[in-house]
Structure 1
Amino acid sequence: MDAGTIAKRPATGVLATNQIEDILALDADIVIHTSRITAPYAEQNADVARRLASGKNVISINGFYMPQVHGAAYANPLRAAAEQGQATLAGIGVNPGVIAERLALTLSGLMASLDHVECLEVVDCSNVPSADFLFGVLGFNSDLAQSDIRKGPLAQLYTDLYSETFAYMAEAWGTKVRSITPAHRMTLAPEHIHIQAGVIETGHVAGTEWRWDAVFEDGRTMTHSLLWTIAPQLHADGEGAHWTISARGRPNITISLTISDPDPNAPHSRPAMDMTAAVLIRAIPDVCAAAAGFYPLPKAQLPFKERFL
């Protein structure tokens, strides 16, 4: 079916299919893998491996920055499939992918010494139209008394995903992760909150902050936090930057990143979707040119003092 038809827009000439066999049969250089990530984390791997084995490079927004972090049983089938198809598997995205892995690393390269890095994300989900996505995948309207999503498969999914971010930072800094401690925080609705996708009931989850504190072998620490909310007014800052990245040491550095759409009536999520699409598209030539296997890490960006000692 034409992709334009699915999107309720004019025909594009780009055909869509829901059969993976159709994709495998194509003589394509690369597959952009943007399926909805669901628990358990490894659920997506079999399809990704089939694409790699068929000779197609794969760029995915669902992790795969450092598959080896999860052990040989997780990583080896993906590596074997890539080698079979002489293809490359690359994890590319914004968060994960840019916020810590590019911007925080860049800040660390400006410092004489580094003690702590903190990456904070804030996303307004109030006008996301999909009830299945908000209430199912993201966990909004959960009753923590009935099911504490901070301790369930959803929390484990995000921990698995962002453990690769911490490992990525450690590799770039020339160290290893000693520990990752979840510190998730939920915001409950003080009253019924009506949004486009439905109703958040009183006392149910209206904001999810997935948060982890990591300690590295060299003594540095890092916090990574993702606050997704349907009611920004319930949080201390209300409105502010979409991302705030801080590095503490000598000197202390903080940057804020705010994104917006030129159309004031556009969905809140569109600027982030545009950013993600841009990152994926720009990565295509590099991934296609890379050696078979896992896409390599960037060169280490150590703080100044540690580069020369």
Structure 2
Amino acid sequence: MKIIQWATGAMGKTCLRAVIDRPDLELVGLFVYGERKAGLDAGEIARRPATGVVATQSIEDILALDADVVIHAARLDPPFERHDADILRLLRSGKNVISINGGSFPPFWPQERQARFEAACAEGQSSFMGAGLNPGFGAEKLAVLATGVCSDVNSVSLRELVDCRPVKSAAYVFDIIGFGSEPGRVDPNHPDWVPGQTMNALFREVVGCTAHRLGWTLDAVETAHTLRAAPSDIEIAAGIVRAGTTARIDWNWLGIEAGETRVDLGIAWTMETPPEGAPRPPLWTIRVDGTPSVKLDFDLETPVGWTARTSAEQLGVAGAVVNAIPAVIAAPPGLQSAPLATHFQAFTRA
């Protein structure tokens, strides 16, 4: 299977390594945004042996390649649809696209966006699919599978805590994510708040996908986002979160059916230093209110002896993406929700 990697930020670079390391995948192209990386061999960027594939900033070069799948891992910057034009060109050129930034449940998209993607897929006889961890795996796959032991389900919930202190980009932390804003002057649930626009676009469809797979017809997806201020200055990799400004953002989406909350999805982004000696929480805490009820704590760990800076979560995104490649290739042209199971399949080692 011939693969193009699009972008080489922290997540894109991890996906690139996963493609290079798999003998059943052939890297044929690499798109980069930065001039510093253009012209370098993909292996040099990924800290792997030379591949013979040279990174390019030219989308025309990428469009001219023969490839089965493009792994689209561009940084998520507002507005949410800013990368759509590039993705549509890739689809029209006949290349299937897997995105790590949404695509869990395209039926939840605005009709105009659906129509643009469907038209591009029809022209190129290609497919678009989302894959990743959250979105891509947590609620819409793992939480749904957890209900397999239940004879009745009233609701499902997922909680995630993301430690944002290591993020180095000040522009991303303070301008895009929303840290450093003043809680008293910002309404995180207002539709005009830019960080909320991006997150809502990503995760409303996760709630919709989860509900759809469990047979619920939602009347609405409501938000209950909250901001928490830092009691004192917090020094982080990107700078300083000043006292009185936002140090924690609790994103919360509620899927409502007939006045009842069916899906409760919460993701906390924090710059707060955990209390000394506090245990590290699992990546996800999943709860199913049903018969029986289910409690599932799900975590990821790096392999034994792992010394690279790549985190377990980054490795998990890459794994979820490469495991989705056969599904998007086999899918008919058009917008596709990832199958409930896109598990690892053993390959023949060279």
- Aligned ranges 1:234-245 → 2 under 5 Å: 239-245=280-286
Shift of 1:42: 2.3
Q: What do residues 191-240 of structure 1 show as CA deviations (whole Å, max 9, x unaligned)?
A: 11111221111111111111111113595611101111122427xx7731
8 Å contact from structure 1 (residues 209, 225) kept in 2:
yes
- Cα 1:48–1:177 change in 2 (3 A) is same
Which residue of the partner structure matches residue 332 of structure 2? Answer: 291
8 Å contact from structure 1 (residues 142, 204) kept in 2:
yes
CA RMSD of aligned residues (A): 2.5
Matched, 1:187 2:187: no
Structure 1 residues without counterparts, runs of 5 or longer: 301-309
Equivalent of 1:93 in 114, 132, 143: 132
TM-score when normalising by structure 1: 0.87
Shift of 1:129: 2.2
Equivalent of 1:172 in 203, 210, 213: 213
Which residue of the partner structure matches residue 290 of structure 2? Answer: 249
Shift of 1:132: 2.5
CA distance in structure 2 between the aligned counterparts of 1:144 and 1:11, rounded to whole angstroms: 49
Matched, 1:81 2:158: no
- Cα 1:93–1:17 change in 2 (3 A) is same
CA distance in structure 1 between the aligned counterparts of 2:135 and 2:263, rounded to whole angstroms: 15
DSSP 3-state at the match of 1:177: coil
DSSP 3-state at the match of 2:121: helix
- Aligned ranges 1:26-105 → 2 under 5 Å: 26-105=65-144
Which residue of the partner structure matches residue 231 of structure 1? Answer: 272
Matched, 1:158 2:199: yes
Shift of 1:14: 3.4
TM-score when normalising by structure 2: 0.78
8 Å contact from structure 1 (residues 175, 218) kept in 2:
no
Which residue of the partner structure matches residue 314 of structure 2? Answer: 273
CA distance in structure 1 between the aligned counterparts of 2:51 and 2:182, rounded to whole angstroms: 43
8 Å contact from structure 1 (residues 55, 87) kept in 2:
yes
- Cα 1:265–1:189 change in 2 (3 A) is farther
Greater length-normalized contact order (CA 8 Å, ≥ 6 residues apart):
1
- Cα 1:198–1:220 change in 2 (3 A) is closer
Matched, 1:202 2:243: yes
Shift of 1:44: 2.1
CA distance in structure 2 between the aligned counterparts of 1:280 and 1:299, rounded to whole angstroms: 14
8 Å contact from structure 2 (residues 211, 262) kept in 1:
no
Shift of 1:147: 4.1
Matched, 1:128 2:167: yes
CA distance in structure 1 between the aligned counterparts of 2:228 and 2:53, rounded to whole angstroms: 42
DSSP 3-state at the match of 1:224: strand
CA distance in structure 2 between the aligned counterparts of 1:283 and 1:39, rounded to whole angstroms: 26
Percent identity (aligned): 35
Shift of 1:79: 0.5
Structure 2 residues without counterparts, runs of 5 or longer: 1-38, 342-350
CA distance in structure 1 between the aligned counterparts of 2:81 and 2:74, rounded to whole angstroms: 13
Equivalent of 1:116 in 155, 158, 164: 155
Shift of 1:121: 0.6
Larger mean Cα displacement after TM superposition, 93-102 or 68-77: 68-77
CA distance in structure 1 between the aligned counterparts of 2:157 and 2:273, rounded to whole angstroms: 21
